[in-house]
Amino acid sequence: MSSTHSYQDNDELLLRAQQGDEEAREQIYQANVGLIYMVLERFRGTSYEQEDLFQVGSIGLLKAIDKFDFSFKVRFSTYAVPMIIGEIKKFLRDDGMVKVQRGYKELYSKIRWAQDKLRGDLGREPNVNEIAACLEIDKEEIVLAMEACQSPAYIDDVIPGEEKNQGSLLDRLASEENTVRILEQMALREALGKLDDREREVILRRFFKDETQSVIAQDLGVSQVQISRIEKGALQKLKSLLGEQTIIE
Amino acid sequence: MNVKNYVRLEFSSLPENVSFARSCVGAFASQLDCTLEDIEEIKLVVSEAVSNSIIHGYNNDPSQTIEVVVSILENNSLEIIIKDYGRGIENIDQAMEPTYSSDPSRMGLGFTFMRSFMDEMDVVSEPGKGTSVRLLRCFPSQDHRAMA
Amino acid sequence: MNVKNYVRLEFSSLPENVSFARSCVGAFASQLDCTLEDIEEIKLVVSEAVSNSIIHGYNNDPSQTIEVVVSILENNSLEIIIKDYGRGIENIDQAMEPTYSSDPSRMGLGFTFMRSFMDEMDVVSEPGKGTSVRLLRCFPSQDHRAMA
Amino acid sequence: MQVKADFKQVRNTLVVRISGELDMLVTDQLRQEIDYRLDSNSINTLVLNLEKVSFIDSSGLGLIIGRYKKVSAQQGRIYIVGASPSVEKILLFSGINKLVPLYRSEKDVVSN
Ligand SMILES: Nc1ncnc2c1ncn2[C@@H]1O[C@H](COP(=O)(O)OP(=O)(O)OP(=O)(O)O)[C@@H](O)[C@H]1O
Ligand SMILES: Nc1ncnc2c1ncn2[C@@H]1O[C@H](COP(=O)(O)OP(=O)(O)OP(=O)(O)O)[C@@H](O)[C@H]1O
Ligand SMILES: [Mg+2]
Ligand SMILES: [Mg+2]
């Protein structure tokens, strides 16, 4: 704002405006309309219509003109700015009660639109900055809106083809059989959790670490026969817990 | 007042972190039962305070650090503290005056925005040591709103 | 490697902060020259690491603290460090094994996702002291991509 | 952003329409809600509609695998429908689609 001093020689005009001089009122309004723009500056990049905010800001400025009191001992602008902001605040709070989720949904569709458009224009996947610039919003807001929403899939009716499965993690790790084995191992883990500590230790060492009954017996300070008995009982329990699935051959 | 949830952010005093900080605080605040307008207002005030720390506190030196602590208090109010270890403010009352700015190219509206949109604002500052701005915003719980 | 920009987050080990943390890191990462898909992947790995700290590190105790430090390095790579002061991991090699989980109801895929979607992963852990996971993702600048 | 689930039962089929982010914040409760219905009604087909799910991680995958195990143990079937591209990517990446078939829409499951 170039001319702060243009707000200063207002006293006389103000007085006349307050005494009902419409022309003076208009003049003082025009001289200070810059204050509204100063305030609106801060709302750039938000979802609000600048025009709406200007209307409301004007109401604030006119109120300030009518209510300014010279005994305040402050400059008119110092008094008017909070009035303008206050009026805008009231408007924002009365006007919308948009739930966060809905707001993001609207933004989300815009993002998808911009993404498609830029992909076409650039011939490659646009980056977040480019989408943000296209929509004139913060790039962070794009990330947050993406978190909050998702479009229904397959809008373009693409059926996920078999070839898409190629890069799958478990594919790389193992075959389909293995996927099932992994799940069975999970079932086994669950069942193992239901054994008591000693049973579990015996099973783990016997079948997963290939230790002999006598080594385990020595470690635990019991006889080999006892280990054999614990093992048998534990296997019985596991079998019933796991149903028909036979994992331990 | 007990804290239900909090986050503490610390980041370089780079201009690109202003938009990061406001979005981040906005995202955290959205845990509360509030509207999109509330979030926009909160983002606005965080923007003002963080910009002040970068511009006035650190004189645009990007190697400094800004801290933001956001807490959701037990009564569902949101407390935001923005702190720098920069130049500090000599005359806080004057600084808070609408349209006062130590920089003739600026408008001096930052503090006015913070005070207008938040329910409480406290500024603690020591020249040469730094500035801490505490902002509080209350959110009536859903039940209260329904009754109103 | 010099750091161009960084943010340090500290928050309570509450489940609702998992989504906050991943959004926040995603938002910060958007400073890099990356696509929405890159961001999705970054959010996933942050989600995995923070969930691990809450579930395994702190056994779902919400009164603990998690730290996340995100840095943009000079060569445009993104470094993310997720740290807890919880239970720690006895056998890191085993923990990183795909489908290994100490909890029978879980998949044991967290570390595998982190390793798959990031270029580097290091885990430092001490039983009783805590766990720190360092993840690195490189982003070739657009010029390089165009040449490729 | 809380997750929401709508339940719809048609004869022996339970359709669960989930919206939100499927992470550790919500999986515990969702698991209980689904299992409660699986246990109390004679369900042999479970359809998880993920159209409105914006994010999934290993906690969400764990929820699905767990329901797979439970339903399979009762000789039932389970399907996933409507996963968005980014969710689908994770499902394919994990290989879960080998066990739980993915369909575009609820209609496609019925016509199959
Ligand atoms: N963190 C800070 N460190 C040092 N001085 C500060 C700090 N924040 C504010 N100030 C001082 O307070 C004054 C008023 O701040 P305010 O944000 O209201 O206006 P401004 O920053 O000058 O202008 P605008 O915010 O409209 O761009 C500033 O001009 C500056 O002198
Ligand atoms: N922060 C941590 N503190 C203590 N233990 C951990 C931590 N992170 C991982 N672990 C250990 O590593 C194991 C493997 O972790 P990973 O994330 O790969 O699988 P998971 O969390 O068990 O299952 P999923 O991630 O699929 O839900 C965990 O089961 C746990 O025992
Ligand atoms: Mg300012
Ligand atoms: Mg995990």
Separation CA C75–CA C39 (nearest Å): 18
- What is the per-residue pLDDT for B50? 97
- Higher-pLDDT residue of B111, A242: B111
- What is the per-residue pLDDT for C59? 96
- What is the per-residue pLDDT for B113? 92
Share of chain A above pLDDT 70, in %: 71
pLDDT (mean) for C115-123: 92
pLDDT band at A243 (very low <50, low <70, confident <90, very high): low
> Which stretch, A47-51, A193-197, A216-220, B9-13, has highest mean pLDDT?
B9-13
**B20-57 pLDDT per residue, tens:** 999 999 989 988 888 878 888 899 999 999 999 999 99
Interstrand relation of B3-12 and B65-73 (parallel, antiparallel or unpaired):
antiparallel
Separation CA B112–CA B99 (nearest Å): 8
Q: Report phi then psi at A195, rounded to 5.
A: -80, 160
Token pair 């993406």 is found at A146
Q: Which domain holds residue D92?
A: 4-108
B139: amino acid identity, one letter? F
DSSP state of A207: I
The domain spanning residue B12 has which CATH number?
3.30.565.10
Mutate to test the interface with A, among D75, D87, D98, D103 (most CBs of A within 10 A): D98
pLDDT band at B141 (very low <50, low <70, confident <90, very high): low
A18: amino acid identity, one letter? Q
CB C7 within 8 A of CB C78: no
Q: Residue C71 C-alpha to ligand 1 middle, in angstroms?
A: 29
CB contact under 8 A, A140 and C35: no
- What is the per-residue pLDDT for C148? 40
Separation CA C82–CA D2 (nearest Å): 24
Q: Residue C139 C-alpha to ligand 1 middle, in angstroms?
A: 37
pLDDT band at A44 (very low <50, low <70, confident <90, very high): confident
D91: amino acid identity, one letter? L
pTM for the whole thing?
0.80
- What is the per-residue pLDDT for B9? 97
What value does the mean pLDDT of chain A take? 76
Sheet order of strands, B130-138 included: B120-126, B130-138, B77-84, B65-73, B3-12, C3-12, C65-73, C77-84, C130-138, C120-126
Chain B touched by A44 (CB under 8 Å) = no
Residues contacting ligand 1 via CB (< 6 Å): B 48, 52-53, 56-57, 84, 86-89, 95, 100-103, 106-111, 131
pLDDT (mean) for A173-180: 49
**Looking at the predicted structure, is the pLDDT value of residue D54 above 70?**
yes
> D45 Cβ partners below 8 Å, 6+ apart?
D12, D13, D14, D76, D77, D78, D79
- What is the per-residue pLDDT for C4? 94
CB A203 within 8 A of CB A241: no
Q: What angle do CA D56, C92, A184 make, to 5 degrees?
A: 60
Name the token pair of A111. 């993002």
C62: amino acid identity, one letter? P
**A16-27 pLDDT per residue, tens:** 989 989 999 999
- Higher-pLDDT residue of D18, A97: D18
Ligand nearest to the CA of A82: 1
Minimal CA separation from D1 to chain C, in Å: 9
**Is the C-beta atom of C52 inside 6 A of ligand 2?**
yes
- Higher-pLDDT residue of A137, B48: B48
Separation CA A124–CA B140 (nearest Å): 47
Separation CA A15–CA A18 (nearest Å): 5
- Alpha carbon A81 to chain centroid distance? 34
CB B88 within 8 A of CB B125: yes
- What is the per-residue pLDDT for A37? 92
**Looking at the predicted structure, is the pLDDT value of residue A249 above 70?**
no
Q: Which residue of C has its CA nearest to B29?
A: C20
The domain spanning residue D35 has which CATH number?
3.30.750.24
**Looking at the predicted structure, is the pLDDT value of residue A84 above 90?**
yes
pLDDT band at A155 (very low <50, low <70, confident <90, very high): very low
CB contact under 8 A, A78 and B44: no
Chain A residues with CB under 8 Å of D104 CB are: 153-154, 157, 159
Nearest atom within ligand 2 for CA of residue C98: 18
Question: How crowded is the C-beta side of A110, counted as CA atoms within 13 Å?
Answer: 18
- What is the per-residue pLDDT for B63? 95
pLDDT band at A6 (very low <50, low <70, confident <90, very high): very low
Interstrand relation of C130-138 and C77-84 (parallel, antiparallel or unpaired):
antiparallel
CB contact under 8 A, A39 and B19: no
> Which stretch, A132-141, B119-128, D63-72, has highest mean pLDDT?
B119-128
Q: Residue C110 C-alpha to ligand 2 middle, in angstroms?
A: 7
Separation CA D33–CA D21 (nearest Å): 16
Q: Which of B138, A147, B22 is nearest to D1 (CA)?
A: A147
- What is the per-residue pLDDT for A160? 39
A70: amino acid identity, one letter? F
Separation CA D54–CA D84 (nearest Å): 8
C79 classed as catalytic? no
DSSP state of C132: E
- What is the per-residue pLDDT for B131? 98
Q: To test ligand 2's pocket by mutation, which of D57, D58, D61 has the most ligand atoms within 8 angstroms of CB? A: D58
- Collapse the DSSP code of D53 into the 3-class scheme (helix H, G, I; strand E, B; otherwise coil) and give the result: strand
Separation CA D57–CA D24 (nearest Å): 8
Q: To test ligand 1's pocket by mutation, which of B52, B107, B114 has the most ligand atoms within 8 angstroms of CB? A: B52
pLDDT (mean) for C57-81: 96
Going from the C-alpha of A28 to that of each of A41, B44, B51, the distances in angstroms are: 21, 29, 32
pLDDT (mean) for C7-28: 95
CB D22 within 8 A of CB D57: yes
Going from the C-alpha of D48 to that of each of C96, D31, D101, the distances in angstroms are: 29, 12, 11
> Which stretch, A41-45, A101-105, A154-158, D56-60, has highest mean pLDDT?
D56-60
- What is the per-residue pLDDT for A198? 87
Residue A158: CB atoms within 10 Å: 11
Chain A touched by D82 (CB under 8 Å) = yes
Token pair 């509330």 is found at B38
Chain D touched by C40 (CB under 8 Å) = yes
Query: How many separate domains does chain C show?
Result: 1
**Is the C-beta atom of D94 inside 6 A of ligand 2?**
no
Chain A touched by D45 (CB under 8 Å) = no
**Looking at the predicted structure, is the pLDDT value of residue A246 above 60?**
no
Name the token pair of C136. 């690195």
pLDDT (mean) for A129-137: 88
**Looking at the predicted structure, is the pLDDT value of residue A66 above 60?**
yes
pLDDT band at A195 (very low <50, low <70, confident <90, very high): confident
Separation CA C5–CA A146 (nearest Å): 24
Q: What angle do CA D38, D43, D49 make, to 5 degrees?
A: 75
Chain D touched by C18 (CB under 8 Å) = yes
- In terms of C-beta density within 10 A (0-12 exposed, 13-18 middle, 19 or more buried), how is residue A220 classed? middle
**D78-109 pLDDT per residue, tens:** 999 999 888 998 888 788 888 899 998 888 87
- Collapse the DSSP code of A249 into the 3-class scheme (helix H, G, I; strand E, B; otherwise coil) and give the result: coil
Q: No. of H helices and E strands in chain A?
A: 12, 0
Separation CA B79–CA A71 (nearest Å): 36
- What is the per-residue pLDDT for A150? 59
**Looking at the predicted structure, is the pLDDT value of residue A11 above 90?**
no
Separation CA B26–CA B36 (nearest Å): 10
Residues 2-31 of D with CB under 8 A from A: 21
CB nearest A86 (choices: B30, B39, B116): B116
CB nearest B113 (choices: A1, A78, A85): A85
Separation CA A247–CA A224 (nearest Å): 24
- Higher-pLDDT residue of A6, A77: A77
Ligand nearest to the CA of C109: 2
Q: Which of B38, B45, B36, B39 is nearest to B18 (CA)?
A: B45
Interstrand relation of B77-84 and B120-126 (parallel, antiparallel or unpaired):
unpaired
pLDDT band at A41 (very low <50, low <70, confident <90, very high): confident
Separation CA C24–CA C31 (nearest Å): 12
**Looking at the predicted structure, is the pLDDT value of residue A208 above 80?**
no
- What is the per-residue pLDDT for A74? 84
Which residues on chain A place their C-beta less than 8 Å from a C-beta of chain D?
Answer: 101, 146-154, 157, 159-160, 164-165, 167-171, 176, 179-180, 183, 186-187, 243
Q: Residue B15 C-alpha to ligand 3 middle, in angstroms?
A: 13
C41 classed as catalytic? no
CB B68 within 8 A of CB B9: yes
Separation CA C2–CA C7 (nearest Å): 14
CB nearest B109 (choices: A38, A75, A95): A38
CB B75 within 8 A of CB B82: no
- What is the per-residue pLDDT for A5? 42
**ipTM reported for the complex, 2 dp:** 0.76
Separation CA A102–CA A119 (nearest Å): 26
Q: Which domain holds residue B70?
A: 3-147
Query: How many separate domains does chain D show?
Result: 1
- What is the per-residue pLDDT for A238? 78
Ligand nearest to the CA of C108: 2
pLDDT band at A239 (very low <50, low <70, confident <90, very high): confident
Q: Report phi then psi at B10, rounded to 5.
A: -140, 130
Name the token pair of A50. 């600048």
pLDDT band at A158 (very low <50, low <70, confident <90, very high): very low
Chain A residues with CB under 8 Å of C101 CB are: 189
Q: E strands of D1-112, at which residues? A: 4-10, 13-22, 45-56, 77-81, 102-103
**Looking at the predicted structure, is the pLDDT value of residue A96 above 80?**
no
A231: amino acid identity, one letter? E
